[in-house]
Amino acid sequence: MSETEHKVVVVGAGFGGLELTRALAGVPVRITMIDKRNHHLFQPLLYQVATTSLATSEVAWPIRHLLRRRKDVTTLLGNVTGVDRADKRVLLEDGSSIPYDTLVLATGARHAYFGHDEWEPFAPGLKTLEDATTIRRRILLAFEQAERETDPAKRQALLTLVIVGGGPTGVELAGTIIELAHDTLRGEFRNIDTRQARVVLIEAGDRILANFAPQLSAYAQKALERLGVTVELGRPVTQLDAEGVVFGDKRLPARTIIWAAGVAASPAAEWLGAAADRAGRVLVEPDLTVPGSPDIFVIGDTAHVLRPDGKPVPGVAPSAKQEGKHVAATIKARLAGDTATRPFQYRHAGDLATIGKRAAAIDFGWIKLTGWLAWWLWGIAHIYFLIDFRNRLAVSLSWLWIYLTGQRSARLITQGDDDKR
Among all residues, which ones are annotated catalytic?
172
- Residue type at position 118: E
**Dihedral pair phi/psi, residue 257, rounded to 5°:** -130, 135
Give the N- to C-terminal CA distance of the chain in Å, as an integer.
Answer: 49
Please, which residues have CB within 8 angstroms of residue 300's CB and are 6 or more apart in sequence?
12, 14, 15, 16, 17, 106, 107, 108, 315, 319, 320, 323, 324
Going 144 to 145 to 148 to 152, the CA torsion angle's sign is negative
> How big is the chain, counted in residues?
421
Q: Helix, strand or coil for residue 309?
A: coil
351 near 366, Cβ under 8 Å? no
DSSP 59-75: TEEEHHHHTTT-TTEEE
Rounded to an integer, what is the distance from CA 200 to the centroid of its chain? 21
